[in-house]
Chain A
């Protein structure tokens, strides 16, 4: 056995490989006989003496003995050289063997053995036998050899249990039997050479001659049967070379019959003495009979006969010692129970055998689920949608009127929208006054009292407040009462409004808000048609009387809302819109999942310079995958598919999206000091539901504003110009843009009619607030319209102010931020609509083509850019010098100017025109010309449409 030295191949090769032949190698001369030498492994020459002189040279000078001759070895031991152990113990056969005998081909080849650690206690003969049987059956003899090398270090639990029960390796399992003690063959005795396996070591069970009554023996072990599948293509029962026969010289006339274990080949393997005659040679079905075979009477070719097969399924012989897999049944039948008992009793001490067999438990099958079963629990009663938009007033009304409202839903508005105080209240905890973040802590007790009083005065019905608990209860009651009243009155008003809007309209209705519920849509259409006829009770008649009160009230609300929202627009209005190119998602709007919290709170906190938790809000935000890649950062949400802030879809026409409006309208009505930032309705409703802390904050804010007011000049517009954006969450951007334009132009029309002094602005604002929502857009955009109302007339003056006035007073600049930005577009829009009445906002860009710079001016929002130069404007109007004393004059002048504005405007324009022509003639580009351009841009916005048309005409005529 030699492994390949170069290790290219892993397999083990036997023998010595032939030298590889090389083709062009000259033929070697055969080595002459005298040069053929034999050496042993140590390189010593060996001489062959012939068969009768001892074979190879042996012994000392070819004598069999040694130099010493046959003198026996004597015992020697010294301190330096200890006597070898083998002298101390009896001689073994190995002691007298030559080295060669231990070699591969020697008579006692040394084998690889398992170390004792892995060897089981005693040799497992049955396993070996089983292996031998398998080896016999396999095509390659000895291929199961390697399996023997591997043995588990620890025995399995089954073996362990058996051992505890008294079983020993090598024994069979089962009740003990009476029989003769078998002779134990000792392991130590080994046979060398071609010695026949020891025969007759166990006598058959049959010859039981002596069996003492009280001595029992363990049963014989069972040979496990190996069920290896046949892999070859040979037929069933085919046997190639029979190694057993080759070794033992005995043919196997029968195929292995597993069912008749005492068949000859079997018994031979199991160590039973062979009774048949011995034959040499190799035999098998693949080989015929050799020429040297002297057995002529044997059939040369294998013949199968039916007699070799079992034709009857019969019981096994009762006397069979090799009970295997079928054995216990046999024992159970023939031997009594006592045997079992003794067997069992020994194993588990402390237990007695049961007299009666254990009763079988009856197992009932689980009930069969009905096909329509759904594993969900449904609460009985009215299902109130848990959308965040539900107003407290509605909830209260429901609870009082029907008693069907499910308990106050703690999930209302989302868990995260409640703050600690609200959650505490829900849990029934007393309100915590000593929070570190509470504003109350920062206030002195007298201030606190003042704030409370202030708030109470704003809520007249709220009587004396004693404890926080009663306080909140009272507040809820008040809110409920006012909310219901508000809902009722606003509902009525809205119905009236809807009626007014639809009455007499014959336009074919195209919008179908409830399309997915046909019956509802039908009812709605009925309602609309009644509206058109001017029916006062349109709503009540068209509702389904079969519905519950709750459903009806809900539908009533929805219908009114829908009819107001989608009422036929006036012709002037509708002409300005182009219809959407593609239908947006019908019934749902995308709403940002995490709504921004109360702006009022934040504003109050910012006023108090309490930046931090109160002003900070954090949202989950999903960046684009590519953006993360470009920034070299891992994507924070690897499995995310969306981008931006998480959005949720909400039902567009759900009543809850609109219910809060009525509440807030009611809240806007009471006059308040003008605030720096207009609250949106949504904010208002939120504040109503908010906790004491936020209420306090808002009152504090109000107070702060009241204080601030005197400081500001009376004509100062709100400091923060942009409120459009803060007022609506639900409106989509598209409509926002459209309607902003639209609305501003509406405003403009009003504006032109009334020439107001600046002082009148406040009045106007109030009026604006009290005014009932005439228009959907106005209802939404009322915040911004306040800004616009601060008179577009003044923009000319403002423009002048800008140019002069970097050193001017604050409010003037404020002005320019807040109002110019907002009002400039109105001017342009008005000119657009006046000159080309059919122009839609979308196409207003065509106008900008004529005056591009003008269009750019139109976009001015927010903080502006400073003017390019402080040099006095060279235009005709304002050639005033910058002197501080001038400012006051200017103001007055401005007011006066207003009355004559239109005239002046025209003058200006004419001057402009001249100016422009002059400028055109100039070729050099200088600072001043740039300024001119800017100026001109600013002024051009005010040029009337007639002027524009005239100019266009004149240009054309010039060209022609």
Chain B
């Protein structure tokens, strides 16, 4: 019926073994993100700091401070030279990775900024805010005004993703919007429930959206038809992440019951329920190529891998 992204591989491995736990010591970790190649990770803390870690050596490489309130999201550029982050202090900051200096502090949002992303060439920063706008900031020019403000959302923008020339935003008004720059089109998919997180699939054919009705939906990008629906987890009040595995075989979502749920993408069956802890799993990030998962719960970040490995507690 539908062209699913990829045929099911022989034995898809799941990141079911806890490799290590990193205590970030920056308050609650609001978001944890792999960088472009998956060698480093970024943690956004509620103590206004943004930290860069090495995944392998689990060492703290750098701490970036300059935000006025808790950091909510971050993204690294393809060449690892720049980081952008957004915060509840309504600003977006562009960091120089090496020096840890603030390259640019972008003000303009009227409320806290929920999500931030570079485009592929890190020439534009896109940030979505609770004020219902997505602002496109130019990293090349010295202008401090955004290139364009996308104010189509009728409520706060909770999540956004950029792939090539397409921008996907999820809003609290229950709609997933896809801006196609090449075609000059805006596609609005009505989901109904406030969207907490949106993703593109790796092959760019589908969109994944999780919403506050405790459902993750896989929609066909071009038609908006629903290809899969994944339930069982609990997402009722908090803005939690969801993602696809690196090979598009599984759908993963945070849950408020302290687990990460992992469904088979095609069959929709629950294939793994990863117990992270007692609290809410706030954020998760899947390695871009390998089977490796990051989860964030409260002040700690867990690294999960496919094979058992001796665990080290609390660096």
A248 to chain B, nearest CB (A): 81
Q: Which residues of A are found within 8 Å of B70, using beta-carbon distances?
A: 865
Q: Does B96 contact A (CB under 8 A)?
A: no
Q: Given A720-B194, A725-B154, A861-B156, answer yes or no on A611-B28 (Cβ-Cβ < 8 Å).
A: no
Q: Which of A828-864 contact B (CB under 8 A)?
A: 853, 856, 859, 861-864
- In angstroms, Cα B152 to Cα A617, docked, is 13
Check A720 against B154 for contact (C-beta < 8 Å): no
Q: Which of B178-201 contact A (CB under 8 A)?
A: 179-194, 196
A406 to chain B, nearest CB (A): 34
0 or 1 for each of B277-305: is its CB under 8 Å from A? (1 = yes): 01110100000000000000011000000
- In angstroms, Cα B184 to Cα A636, docked, is 5
- In angstroms, Cα B181 to Cα A709, docked, is 43
Check A630 against B236 for contact (C-beta < 8 Å): no
B1 to chain A, nearest CB (A): 12
Which one of A619, A733, A863 lies within 8 Å of B185 (CB-CB)?
A: A619
Q: Does A483 contact B (CB under 8 A)?
A: no
Check A627 against B136 for contact (C-beta < 8 Å): yes
Q: Given A631-B119, A866-B238, A870-B279, answer yes or no on A611-B224 (Cβ-Cβ < 8 Å).
A: yes
The segment from A341-349, A551-559, A572-580, A813-821 that touches chain B is A813-821
Of B27, B72, B112, B124, most A-chain CB atoms within 10 Å: B27
Which one of A613, A859, A868 lies within 8 Å of B27 (CB-CB)?
A: A868
Check B179 against A866 for contact (C-beta < 8 Å): no
Check B47 against A925 for contact (C-beta < 8 Å): yes
Check B280 against A636 for contact (C-beta < 8 Å): no
Check B88 against A856 for contact (C-beta < 8 Å): yes
Check A868 against B28 for contact (C-beta < 8 Å): yes
Q: Does B121 contact A (CB under 8 A)?
A: yes
Q: Does B226 contact A (CB under 8 A)?
A: yes
Q: 10 new A-B pairs (CB below 8 Å) besides A611-B189, A613-B224, A633-B165?
A: A603-B192, A616-B190, A624-B147, A631-B164, A635-B184, A720-B174, A726-B173, A863-B194, A868-B28, A869-B299
- Nearest first, the 7 A-B pairs at minimum CB distance are A636-B184, A868-B28, A616-B224, A725-B154, A862-B172, A621-B186, A863-B239
- In angstroms, Cα B220 to Cα A868, docked, is 35
A642 to chain B, nearest CB (A): 11
Q: Does B237 contact A (CB under 8 A)?
A: yes
Q: Which residues of A are found within 8 Å of B72, using beta-carbon distances?
A: 865
Check A618 against B196 for contact (C-beta < 8 Å): no
Check A869 against B298 for contact (C-beta < 8 Å): yes
B214 to chain A, nearest CB (A): 8
Check B155 against A930 for contact (C-beta < 8 Å): no
Q: Given A624-B136, A725-B154, A930-B47, answer yes or no on A817-B188 (Cβ-Cβ < 8 Å).
A: no
Q: Does B46 contact A (CB under 8 A)?
A: yes
Q: Which of B8-24 contact A (CB under 8 A)?
A: none
Q: Which residues of A are found within 8 Å of B213, using beta-carbon distances?
A: 719
B146 to chain A, nearest CB (A): 9
Check B224 against A623 for contact (C-beta < 8 Å): no
Check B184 against A863 for contact (C-beta < 8 Å): no
Q: Given A627-B181, A722-B172, A930-B27, answer yes or no on A616-B148 (Cβ-Cβ < 8 Å).
A: no
Which one of B164, B188, B193, B223 lies within 8 Å of A617 (CB-CB)?
A: B188
Check A631 against B185 for contact (C-beta < 8 Å): no
Check A596 against B188 for contact (C-beta < 8 Å): yes
Q: Does A100 contact B (CB under 8 A)?
A: no
Check A856 against B69 for contact (C-beta < 8 Å): yes
Q: Which of B98-134 contact A (CB under 8 A)?
A: 111-112, 119-121, 123-124, 130, 132
Q: Does B150 contact A (CB under 8 A)?
A: yes
Which one of B120, B123, B192, B239 lies within 8 Å of A607 (CB-CB)?
A: B192
- In angstroms, Cα B88 to Cα A632, docked, is 31
Total interface residues on A, using CB and 8 Å?
A: 67
Which one of A618, A721, A870, A930 lies within 8 Å of B187 (CB-CB)?
A: A618
Check B111 against A859 for contact (C-beta < 8 Å): yes
28 residue pairs bridging A and B, Cβ less than 8 Å apart: A596-B188, A602-B192, A606-B190, A606-B191, A606-B192, A618-B187, A619-B187, A621-B184, A621-B186, A623-B184, A677-B174, A722-B194, A806-B279, A856-B89, A859-B111, A859-B130, A861-B130, A861-B172, A863-B172, A863-B238, A865-B72, A865-B238, A865-B239, A868-B27, A868-B298, A868-B299, A869-B279, A930-B27
Q: Which residues of A are found within 8 Å of B119, using beta-carbon distances?
A: 630-631
- In angstroms, Cα B257 to Cα A813, docked, is 12
Check A631 against B124 for contact (C-beta < 8 Å): yes
- In angstroms, Cα B60 to Cα A603, docked, is 47
Q: Does A235 contact B (CB under 8 A)?
A: no
B50 to chain A, nearest CB (A): 16
Check B279 against A862 for contact (C-beta < 8 Å): no
Check B226 against A726 for contact (C-beta < 8 Å): no
Which one of A613, A632, A930 lies within 8 Å of B121 (CB-CB)?
A: A632
Q: Given A726-B154, A813-B236, A863-B212, answer yes or no on A599-B181 (Cβ-Cβ < 8 Å).
A: no
Q: Does A628 contact B (CB under 8 A)?
A: yes
Q: Which of A713-749 contact B (CB under 8 A)?
A: 719-722, 724-726, 733
Q: Which residues of B are found within 8 Å of A626, using beta-carbon distances?
A: 138, 147-148
The interface residues of chain B, by DSSP majority, are classed as loop
Q: Which residues of B are found within 8 Å of A865, using beta-carbon distances?
A: 28, 30, 46, 70, 72, 238-239, 282
Check A616 against B184 for contact (C-beta < 8 Å): no
Q: Does B309 contact A (CB under 8 A)?
A: no
Q: Does A239 contact B (CB under 8 A)?
A: no
Check A816 against B188 for contact (C-beta < 8 Å): no
Q: Which residues of B are found within 8 Å of A304, using beta-carbon distances?
A: none
Of A606, A724, A810, A864, most B-chain CB atoms within 10 Å: A606
Q: Which residues of B are found within 8 Å of A724, using beta-carbon distances?
A: 155
Check B196 against A863 for contact (C-beta < 8 Å): yes
Which one of B154, B172, B189, B282 lies within 8 Å of A615 (CB-CB)?
A: B189
Check A644 against B190 for contact (C-beta < 8 Å): no
- In angstroms, Cα B154 to Cα A617, docked, is 15
B238 (CB) vs chain A CBs: closest residue: A866
Q: Does A884 contact B (CB under 8 A)?
A: no
Q: Does A622 contact B (CB under 8 A)?
A: yes
B217 (CB) vs chain A CBs: closest residue: A611
A934 (CB) vs chain B CBs: closest residue: B46
Check B256 against A634 for contact (C-beta < 8 Å): no
Check A630 against B147 for contact (C-beta < 8 Å): yes
Check A612 against B223 for contact (C-beta < 8 Å): yes
Q: Does A190 contact B (CB under 8 A)?
A: no
Q: Which of A920-957 contact B (CB under 8 A)?
A: 925, 927, 930
Q: Does B58 contact A (CB under 8 A)?
A: no
B211 (CB) vs chain A CBs: closest residue: A863
Check B182 against A636 for contact (C-beta < 8 Å): yes
Q: Which residues of A are found within 8 Å of B257, using beta-carbon distances?
A: 806-807
Check A612 against B225 for contact (C-beta < 8 Å): yes
- In angstroms, Cα B121 to Cα A930, docked, is 37
Q: Given A927-B27, A930-B27, answer yes or no on A862-B155 (Cβ-Cβ < 8 Å).
A: yes
Q: Does A637 contact B (CB under 8 A)?
A: yes
- In angstroms, Cα B187 to Cα A733, docked, is 22
Q: Which residues of A are found within 8 Å of B236, using beta-carbon distances?
A: 810, 813-814, 817
A640 to chain B, nearest CB (A): 8
Q: Which residues of A are found within 8 Å of B299, using beta-carbon distances?
A: 868-869, 927
- In angstroms, Cα B29 to Cα A601, docked, is 40
0 or 1 for each of B228-248: is its CB under 8 Å from A? (1 = yes): 010000101111100000000
Which one of A618, A621, A630 lies within 8 Å of B123 (CB-CB)?
A: A630
Which one of A645, A862, A870 lies within 8 Å of B130 (CB-CB)?
A: A862
Q: Does A332 contact B (CB under 8 A)?
A: no
B129 (CB) vs chain A CBs: closest residue: A859
A594 (CB) vs chain B CBs: closest residue: B186
Q: Does B158 contact A (CB under 8 A)?
A: yes
Check A930 against B46 for contact (C-beta < 8 Å): yes
Q: Which residues of A are found within 8 Å of B156, using beta-carbon distances?
A: 722, 861-862
Q: Which residues of A are found within 8 Å of B140, using beta-carbon distances?
A: 630
0 or 1 for each of A796-827: is its CB under 8 Å from B? (1 = yes): 00000000001100100110110000000000
Q: Given A615-B224, A863-B194, answer yes or no on A813-B256 (Cβ-Cβ < 8 Å).
A: yes
- In angstroms, Cα B138 to Cα A599, docked, is 35
